[in-house]
Amino acid sequence: MTDETYDALVIGAGFAGLTAARDLATSGKRVLVVEARDRIGGRTWYRRFADTELSIEMGGNWIDPAGNAALMAEVDRYGVELSTSPQAENHVSLLDGVLSHAACPISRDDELDLRRFVEETRTQVERIDPTLPLDTQDVADLDVPLDAYIDGFGLSVTLTELMGAWIRQETGCHLSQISALHLMSWIPLLDNDVLAIGHTPTHRFASGTIDLLQRMLDDSGAEIRLSAPVASVTQTGEHVEVRTKEGEVLRGRAAVVAVPLNCLGDIEFEPALSPEKTAAAAIGQSGAAKKLWALVTGLPPKILGIGEHDAPIDVFFTDYPVEETGLGGDLVVGFSTQERPLDILDRVEVEAAFRLYVPEAGVLKVDGYDWLADPYSKGTWCAAPAGLLSTYASALERTEGRLVFAGSDVAHAFRGWIEGAVATGGVAATRLSAILDEG
Ligand SMILES: Cc1cc2nc3c(=O)[nH]c(=O)nc-3n(C[C@H](O)[C@H](O)[C@H](O)COP(=O)(O)OP(=O)(O)OC[C@H]3O[C@@H](n4cnc5c(N)ncnc54)[C@H](O)[C@@H]3O)c2cc1C
């Protein structure tokens, strides 16, 4: 064991862990961040596209400056530059077998049904306070699979497919695997705009998420151990001892646990975590998106495409037009989910997928990352399955002895977003400081 005793150990160097580490270290605490991977950033990763000079986000990407208050405070604090993805100028959709180039590919009857869906959903959403744990509110009847909620409206196939594609792009999973309540909890944070669920924010970090993350780490002055996966966490009276898989033991007066929910069960806790937190970790979250990047020729400029449930790609759009890439094609980002067999790293398969929408499309290069197979994420952004939040929302983020918990997966507001990670990181730092003050 090292002789050092840190005030705080922070397990996980994603946005949540680094926010907590920065807040603690800048308030005078001795902090050590312990990170499994050989890089910081967790489920955000800004790196080169294929073997080119252009860098893109493999994970978390877009932010909502209007709603993401905690994150924007960091952006402003460090003067981080943002840029925007281009607005779509061309549209293509493949819904109920029909290829269309209309910006709004639904009938007048569908529009009326959509309005009915929006109004009814807004009424239900009024019952939700997104700043409080959902298990403390009378909303369990909304904690049902999202496809069951939508089916209750008796919408046409075309409208169901359109909504399904947009929602899958926002949830990263089949609609049976996410709770309607989880998605609804975002709506009060999006100005009560139900349709905002289908609008990916367009702002992104001009020099990548790493720009902000690195500034936070540098500013903190916290020590960091990379490539140090934590195997066990033991609370012993006044201390927390963290043992890495390599057998090193690190000691702190308290710790922030900021690992993904789907990885929590891989760490052995002594004493064991509460039965509720253990049960929630065993259920886990369902986010399992396939985010693909493709360098594509032959597409109409600045295109937005939407596909039905058995098309290989749900939604795709031009993120860097050919004049920006300098690579002879548009750099297009697309989203799919695990149940469809598309191999996002197979150029031929991806080209065939784009040709369903635009027969002239040619794919020069592809790239993407398998977050589901990565042992330190085991999924993409948080999609809570039905039943999780109305039962365990409080337990997920509850302090246990000298351990405080942070992360986008346990956030009440903006669960699943970078914003949720940053906000919980700040709260965790405050809670840990209170533990230290108590002695
Ligand atoms: C493909 C994709 C697209 C996304 N798009 C967006 C988007 O556009 N906008 C948005 O706001 N959000 C998006 N997200 C979600 C967002 O990236 C995450 O919600 C957020 O980054 C999570 O931060 P976190 O700190 O809570 O967790 P993480 O970033 O997952 O950090 C947890 C850290 O814990 C480490 N860890 C795990 N196990 C151990 C262990 N045993 N020991 C030590 N360390 C461990 C991990 O390596 C990781 O660094 C996306 C995510 C993905 C994957």
178, 233: one domain: no
Question: What's the CATH number where 13 sits?
Answer: 3.50.50.60
pLDDT digits (tens, 9 = 90+) for 187-243: 999 888 888 877 777 899 999 999 999 999 999 999 999 999 999 999 998 999 999
| 242 belongs to a structural domain | yes
pLDDT digits (tens, 9 = 90+) for 143-152: 999 999 999 9
Q: Which of residues 196, 224, 251 is at a domain's end?
A: 196
170, 217: one domain: no
CA gap 228, 12 in Å, rounded: 10
Write the DSSP string, 315-338: EEEEEE-HHHH-SSSEEEEEEEET
Residue among 259, 292, 427 whose CB has most ligand 1 atoms within 8 A, to mutate: 259
Our CA angle for 260, 416, 277, nearest 5°, is: 45
Residue 43 Cα to ligand 1 middle (Å): 3
252, 143: one domain: no
Confidence band of 1 (pLDDT split at 50, 70, 90)? low
Residue among 9, 32, 44, 74 whose CB has most ligand 1 atoms within 8 A, to mutate: 44
- Which atom of ligand 1 lies closest to the CA of 34? 43
Mean pLDDT of 246-267: 98
Tokens matching residue 23: 């807040």
Q: What pLDDT does 213 receive?
A: 98
Write the residue with the smallest CA distance to atom 13 of ligand 1. 60
Amino acid identity at 402: R
Residue 363 Cα to ligand 1 middle (Å): 29
Residue with tokens 């986000």: 57
Tokens matching residue 170: 């926002």
Write the residue with the smallest CA distance to atom 27 of ligand 1. 14
CA gap 238, 250 in Å, rounded: 14
Greater pLDDT, 137 or 131: 137
Q: Give the residue among 170, 210, 416 at the shortest CA–CA distance from 291.
A: 170
Domain extent at residue 118? 107-196
Q: What is the CA radius of gyration of the chain?
A: 22
pLDDT digits (tens, 9 = 90+) for 270-295: 999 999 999 999 999 999 999 999 99
140, 112: one domain: yes
CA gap 373, 50 in Å, rounded: 19
Structural contact between residues 165 and 309, judged by C-beta atoms closer than 8 angstroms: yes
pLDDT digits (tens, 9 = 90+) for 46-65: 999 999 999 999 999 999 99
Residue 186 Cα to ligand 1 middle (Å): 18
416 lines ligand 1 (CB under 6 A): yes
280, 133: one domain: no
Q: Which of residues 196, 228, 247 is at a domain's end?
A: 196
> Into how many domains does the chain fold?
2
pLDDT digits (tens, 9 = 90+) for 74-104: 999 999 999 999 999 999 999 988 999 998 8
CA gap 160, 209 in Å, rounded: 34
Q: Which of residues 173, 196, 219 is at a domain's end?
A: 196
Question: What's the CATH number where 158 sits?
Answer: 3.90.660.10
